[in-house]
């Protein structure tokens, strides 16, 4: 059959033609055979008939032609927004079974039967197991639990074929005893997991507990009956590689909703429609799959947009398939036939070691779950012993007055004692003179009417003819109470204004300023600036002043004495005692309860009145105590404390909290009359003074300057009367300057005596403990970058008034005045300048330094000389800080360590801000001054250390 060779066959063969039938037509030639779709349209056309068929007869038109969509919108009838869907742009065939957006409902591949799937795709698809969810939601995905796969996983199928049933555990069958042990172990593990593990177990099967009940009776009966093991979630321990807390896993950097595959493989198809998806607002619009260029009956092209990767190439010439080794199959226990144990052990090479703090005590969480749970006795004892010193304090309260007097070598106490022997009120007056006066006061109170009649009360409290008519026990209780209160509070220093907290202990001058600031109780911001401007030394730059102001305000806010913040919440113990005593006494006096009525003003809030439908009393003109209170004390908020971030909290020196001197208030009527008499016999302040003076932390009371006095005096006056004060502040420049240097010199003298760093040496900013000294970062790095000449030292003309540069922006009159003043000051001869004053010895030394040392400091010296040439004659003798540094270095040069130190200083000078280097210098100065004055002030230095 030669014809047959040339016959192309496709499709199913037709029935063979009957003999008697005449073939109607010739068979169609290949070129005439046209593929048509169900509508009879030609499917392929154009470019060698391989083109794509689209649209309406391969046009963009429609049966009606290309008619634009009409848009009509009127006031009455707003045009509705036209929603375009992808389907609008699709052909009918796209929506068909083989199109890109099939419309019919059919089972998905995952759920389709094998045969169905193969039929559909023509190839076997391999279903990969879903990777364990690494997403932000821990645990087994809910959907996975809801939607069960049609078929079991392979592993499950294998297990089932081996006789495993759902709900059982995996493993060899166990006897009862073994099972018991296993369940105990599981429980333990679960406990551990619950308490330490991050994720909860997804509901353990409860079958285990059921078994335990009936096995007690037939315990050892049948060893050969075996049971399937319990199902339990095994714990997979993952080795720890980091120092984060247990079970911590950081946030993944990938956005939460991105598909995990988005970053995964390099061989990833670049999804052209991906961008389309993103840019389009409508989430519905999503077209997937290949649409163009591939016909329905053609196989897919290779992915031409894929990025190539070298890993896909095979570089080796060797045979790819390794020689299949014949592995001797040794059936191992617990290993299913056909599987083998993993040989590669995944143990961590070196366990991760953590350096524990030295005093770290591991805690057993089993012992005490909550801090409110009771502790066991032993541990409590231990804790109590450990914190003993905390409760005991510094032991100051352990001594009684006699002992303390002995320690202090005080004699006059004895006499007081002797006197008190005669006193009928022994218990009170033996405590201290202070309480003695109190008792006296009490006496006077008690015998108030007698007093006027002429009863004689001596200073010792003896009363001659007129008898006290107080009931004896009342007196006794009163006195005891007083004595107790006095004993409790007598060690405390006498209360002074703002003596409670000392946040700026490091800097005495500053602390004093702070105290003055506190005492002034200024509210207005401008007032504060003015007030501080008077107090602050001129050397302080404007920025420092601003900083100090902020610090003060903040500190005042934070370290407000107890009186401010919590006064309304606490009552002193003494008053409580007094009340109790009163209450104890009163019921005895009266059997019947008499209701005491007292009335006071109370302002209901406007809203309350409104809600009660009542007009506000007095038209709302009542003074509102609450509001004023509120103004005075802002709400306690955590954020307020956060505001203090200017000074990190660690930098604050722990303030010494000095509680107020507590005493029950004496009755107000008596105080006025008794006052002059008390003043004479009792000088409690004087007794305590030596103690106070010994501690350098508490600055002595600084007498007020005339200006301050003026301020104090004028505070309550109307503005019109304050002219004097303003004059003294703004106009008179001479007066303002005078007190400052005095104060400063006095201070520096004191500090020198104590071996402390003089606050004048560096400016206040350098000595400021609270200043953030870390190098500037971010945009500030550029601002505070050291300039190119790091060595350029002295010739800063206005070093003491650096702040002036910043002053350009501020142009208020006072400041301009001040500025001028400071400029004047800068030209004052050195003798009148205050500031870093060097020891006399040093000033002469530079001349006598060795040549080598001079070479060391040559740059500095040259610059110095250069400047001195051009400098005005007035300034010739000025000793600037830089110079001192060089001289000191040259002096110390003989030792190796100092040399390296010097270098360090130099490098640091380059790197760090100007201020920092200054600070280090000032430190050195301090060292030096110490050295020179060592012999003189040894004893004092010791004191300062305390």
Partner 1 sequence: MPEFNNFNCAKTIDCKQGAVRAVRYNVDGTYCMSCGSDKKVKLWNPATGLLLKTYGGHADEVTDVAGSCESSHIVSSSLDKSIIYWDVSTGTPVRRLRCHAGGVRCVCFNEDSSIAISGGRDNAVMCWDIRTRRLDPVQVMKDARDCITTVLTNEHNIYAASLDGCVRHYDIRAGELTCDKIGEPITYLAQTRDEQCLVAGCQDSVVRLLDCETGGLLSEYKAHQGQDYHIECGILASDAHIVSGSSDGHAYIWDLLEGKVLQCLRISDNGGVVHSLATHPKRQELLFARRRDMYVFSADLQIEELQL
Residues that bind partner 1 (CB under 8 A): 568, 583, 586-587, 593-605, 607-609, 611-618, 622, 626
| Backbone dihedral angles phi then psi of residue 457, each to the nearest 5 degrees | -120, 120
Angle among Cα 121, 127, 132 to the nearest 5 degrees reads 150
Rank residues 336 and 629 by Cβ distance to partner 1 and give the closer one: 629
Closest C-alpha to 42, from 55, 57, 32, 27 = 57
* Least distance in angstroms from the C-beta of 472 to partner 1: 25
* Least distance in angstroms from the C-beta of 579 to partner 1: 9
Rank residues 237 and 639 by Cβ distance to partner 1 and give the closer one: 639
Rank residues 13 and 634 by Cβ distance to partner 1 and give the closer one: 634
Rank residues 600 and 844 by Cβ distance to partner 1 and give the closer one: 600
Rank residues 516 and 603 by Cβ distance to partner 1 and give the closer one: 603
Rank residues 259 and 631 by Cβ distance to partner 1 and give the closer one: 631
CA dist 509 and 648 (Å) reads: 21
- Provide the CA 855 distance to its chain's centre, in angstroms: 50
* Least distance in angstroms from the C-beta of 203 to partner 1: 25
Burial of 175 (0-12, 13-18, 19+ CB in 10 A): middle
CA dihedral 135, 137, 138, 140 (to 10 degrees): -90
Let me know: does 751 contact 509? Beta carbons within 8 Å.
Answer: no
Rank residues 284 and 590 by Cβ distance to partner 1 and give the closer one: 590
Angle among Cα 317, 322, 327 to the nearest 5 degrees reads 170
* Least distance in angstroms from the C-beta of 580 to partner 1: 13
CA dist 587 and 84 (Å) reads: 90
Burial of 508 (0-12, 13-18, 19+ CB in 10 A): buried
* Least distance in angstroms from the C-beta of 622 to partner 1: 5
* Least distance in angstroms from the C-beta of 609 to partner 1: 6
* Least distance in angstroms from the C-beta of 597 to partner 1: 4
Rank residues 605 and 742 by Cβ distance to partner 1 and give the closer one: 605
CA dist 461 and 443 (Å) reads: 7
* Least distance in angstroms from the C-beta of 571 to partner 1: 8
Which residues does residue 42 pair with via DSSP β-bridges, in sequence order? 36
* Least distance in angstroms from the C-beta of 574 to partner 1: 16
* Least distance in angstroms from the C-beta of 634 to partner 1: 14
* Three state DSSP letters for 777-799: CCHHHHHCCCCCCCCCCCCCCCH
* Least distance in angstroms from the C-beta of 629 to partner 1: 9
* Least distance in angstroms from the C-beta of 613 to partner 1: 8
- Provide the CA 874 distance to its chain's centre, in angstroms: 53
Rank residues 242 and 583 by Cβ distance to partner 1 and give the closer one: 583
| Backbone dihedral angles phi then psi of residue 517, each to the nearest 5 degrees | -60, -40
Q: Please tell me whether residue 210 adopts helix, strand or coil conformation.
A: helix
Cβ-count burial 423-445 (b if 16+ within 10 Å, e if not): bebebbbbbbbbbbbbbbbbbbb
For the residues of 434-458, what is the DSSP string, one character each?
Answer: HHHHHHHHHHHHHTHHHHHHT--B-
* Least distance in angstroms from the C-beta of 612 to partner 1: 5
CA dist 856 and 889 (Å) reads: 9
- In total, the chain counts a number of residues equal to 946
Rank residues 604 and 699 by Cβ distance to partner 1 and give the closer one: 604
Residues 6+ apart with CB under 8 A from 540: 548, 763, 764, 765, 803
* Least distance in angstroms from the C-beta of 488 to partner 1: 22
* Least distance in angstroms from the C-beta of 626 to partner 1: 7
**CA-to-CA dists, residue 285 to 85, 100, 275, 278, 282, angstroms:** 7, 14, 11, 10, 6
* Least distance in angstroms from the C-beta of 631 to partner 1: 15
CA dist 944 and 934 (Å) reads: 13
Rank residues 153 and 611 by Cβ distance to partner 1 and give the closer one: 611
Residues 6+ apart with CB under 8 A from 288: 100, 273
Rank residues 83 and 613 by Cβ distance to partner 1 and give the closer one: 613
Rank residues 566 and 697 by Cβ distance to partner 1 and give the closer one: 566
Let me know: does 57 contact 39? Beta carbons within 8 Å.
Answer: no
Rank residues 595 and 779 by Cβ distance to partner 1 and give the closer one: 595
| Backbone dihedral angles phi then psi of residue 174, each to the nearest 5 degrees | -120, 155
Rank residues 191 and 618 by Cβ distance to partner 1 and give the closer one: 618
Rank residues 629 and 685 by Cβ distance to partner 1 and give the closer one: 629
**CA-to-CA dists, residue 233 to 136, 187, 246, 333, angstroms:** 22, 11, 20, 21
* Least distance in angstroms from the C-beta of 602 to partner 1: 4
Closest C-alpha to 208, from 171, 183, 182 = 183
Going 388 to 389 to 392 to 398, the CA torsion angle's sign is: positive
Closest C-alpha to 571, from 580, 560, 584, 558 = 580
| Cβ count within 10 A of residue 874 | 11
Rank residues 325 and 597 by Cβ distance to partner 1 and give the closer one: 597
* Least distance in angstroms from the C-beta of 581 to partner 1: 15
CA dist 302 and 300 (Å) reads: 6
Rank residues 567 and 733 by Cβ distance to partner 1 and give the closer one: 567
CA dist 58 and 37 (Å) reads: 13
Q: Please tell me whether residue 865 adopts helix, strand or coil conformation.
A: helix
Longest dimension (CA), the chain: 166
| Cβ count within 10 A of residue 478 | 22
């Amino acid at each position: 059959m030669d014809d047959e060779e040339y016959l192309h066959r496709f499709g199913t063969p037709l029935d063979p033609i009957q003999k008697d039938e005449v073939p109607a037509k010739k068979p169609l030639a290949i070129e005439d055979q046209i593929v048509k779709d169900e509508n009879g349209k030609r499917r392929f056309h154009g470019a060698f008939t391989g083109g794509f068929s689209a649209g309406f007869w391969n046009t963009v038109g429609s049966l009606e032609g290309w008619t634009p969509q009409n848009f009509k919108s009127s006031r009455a009838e707003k045009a509705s927004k036209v929603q375009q869907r992808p389907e609008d742009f699709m052909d009918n065939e796209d929506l068909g079974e083989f199109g890109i957006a099939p419309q019919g409902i059919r089972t998905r591949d995952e759920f389709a039967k094998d045969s169905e799937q193969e039929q559909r795709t023509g190839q076997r698809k391999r279903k990969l197991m879903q990777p364990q969810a690494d997403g932000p939601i821990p645990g087994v995905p809910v959907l996975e639990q809801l939607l069960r796969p049609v078929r079991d996983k392979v592993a499950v199928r294998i297990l089932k074929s081996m006789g495993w049933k759902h709900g059982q555990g995996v493993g060899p069958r166990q006897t009862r005893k073994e099972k018991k042990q296993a369940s105990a172990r599981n429980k333990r593990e679960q406990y551990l997991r619950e308490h330490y593990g991050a994720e909860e177990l997804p509901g353990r099967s409860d079958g285990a507990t059921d078994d335990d009940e009936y096995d007690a009776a037939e315990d050892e009966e049948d060893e050969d009956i075996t049971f399937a093991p319990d199902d339990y979630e095994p714990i997979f321990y993952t080795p720890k590689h980091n120092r984060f807390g247990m079970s911590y896993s950081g946030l993944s950097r990938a956005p939460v909703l991105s598909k995990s595959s988005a970053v995964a493989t390099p061989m990833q198809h670049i999804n052209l429609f991906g961008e389309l998806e993103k840019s389009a607002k409508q989430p519905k619009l999503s077209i997937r799959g290949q649409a163009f260029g591939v016909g329905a009956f053609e196989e897919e092209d290779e992915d031409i947009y894929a990025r190539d990767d070298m890993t896909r190439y095979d570089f080796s010439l060797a045979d790819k398939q390794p020689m299949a080794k014949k592995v001797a199959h040794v059936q191992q226990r617990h290993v299913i036939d056909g599987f083998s144990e993993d040989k590669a052990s995944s143990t961590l090479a070196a366990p991760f070691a953590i350096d524990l703090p030295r005093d770290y005590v591991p805690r057993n969480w089993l012992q005490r779950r909550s801090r409110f749970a009771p502790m066991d006795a032993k541990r409590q004892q231990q804790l109590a012993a450990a914190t003993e010193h905390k409760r005991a304090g510094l032991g100051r309260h352990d001594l009684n007055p006699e002992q303390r007097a002995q320690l202090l070598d005080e004699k006059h106490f004895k006499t007081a004692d002797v006197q008190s022997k005669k006193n009928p009120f022994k218990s009170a007056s033996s405590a201290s003179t202070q309480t003695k006066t109190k008792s006296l006061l009490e006496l006077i109170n008690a015998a108030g009417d007698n007093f006027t009649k002429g009863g004689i009360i001596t200073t010792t409290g003896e009363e001659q003819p007129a008898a006290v008519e107080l009931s004896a026990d009342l007196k006794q209780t009163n006195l005891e109470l007083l004595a107790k209160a006095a004993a409790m509070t007598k060690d405390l220093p006498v209360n002074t204004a703002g003596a409670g907290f000392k946040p700026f202990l490091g800097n005495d001058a500053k602390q004093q300023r702070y105290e003055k600031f506190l005492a002034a109780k200024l509210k207005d911001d401008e007032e504060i600036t003015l007030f501080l401007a008077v107090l602050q030394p001129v050397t302080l730059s404007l920025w420092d002043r601003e900083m100090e102001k902020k610090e003060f305000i903040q500190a005042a806010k934070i370290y407000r004495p107890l009186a401010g913040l919590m006064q309304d919440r606490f009552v002193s113990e003494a008053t409580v005692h007094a009340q109790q005593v009163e209450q104890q006494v009163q019921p005895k006096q009266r059997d019947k309860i008499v209701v005491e009525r007292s009335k006071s003003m109370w302002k209901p809030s406007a809203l309350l009145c409104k809600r009660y439908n009542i007009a506000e009393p007095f038209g709302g003109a009542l003074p509102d105590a609450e509001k004023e209170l509120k103004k005075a004390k802002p709400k306690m908020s955590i954020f307020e404390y956060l505001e203090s971030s200017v000074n990190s909290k660690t930098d604050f020196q722990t303030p010494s909290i000095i509680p107020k001197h507590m005493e029950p208030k004496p009755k107000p009527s008596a105080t006025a009359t008794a006052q002059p008499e008390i003043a004479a016999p009792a000088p409690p302040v004087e007794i305590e003074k030596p103690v106070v003076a010994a501690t350098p932390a508490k600055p002595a009371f600084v007498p007020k300057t005339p200006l301050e006095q003026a301020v104090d005096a004028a505070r309550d006056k109307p503005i019109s009367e304050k002219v004097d004060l303003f004059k003294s502040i703004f106009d008179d420049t001479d007066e303002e300057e005078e007190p400052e240097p005095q104060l400063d010199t006095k201070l520096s003298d004191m500090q020198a005596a104590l071996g402390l760093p003089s606050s004048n040496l560096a400016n206040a900013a350098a000595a400021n403990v609270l200043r953030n000294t870390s190098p500037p970062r971010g945009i500030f790095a550029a601002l505070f970058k050291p300039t190119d000449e790091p060595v350029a030292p002295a010739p800063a003309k206005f070093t003491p008034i650096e702040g002036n540069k910043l002053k350009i922006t501020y142009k208020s009159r006072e400041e301009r005045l001040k500025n001028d003043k400071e400029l004047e000051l800068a030209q004052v001869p050195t003798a009148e300048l205050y500031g870093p004053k060097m020891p006399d010895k040093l000033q002469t030394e530079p001349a006598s330094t060795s040549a080598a040392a001079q070479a060391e400091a040559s740059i500095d010296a040259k610059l110095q000389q250069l400047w001195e040439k051009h400098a005005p004659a007035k300034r010739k003798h000025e000793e600037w800080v830089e110079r001192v540094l060089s001289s000191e270095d040259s002096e110390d040069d003989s030792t190796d360590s100092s040399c390296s130190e010097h270098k360090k200083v130099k490098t640091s000078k380059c790197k760090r801000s100007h201020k920092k280097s200054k600070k280090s210098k000032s430190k050195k100065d301090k060292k030096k001054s110490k050295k020179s004055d060592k012999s003189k002030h040894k004893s004092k230095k010791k004191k300062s250390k305390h």
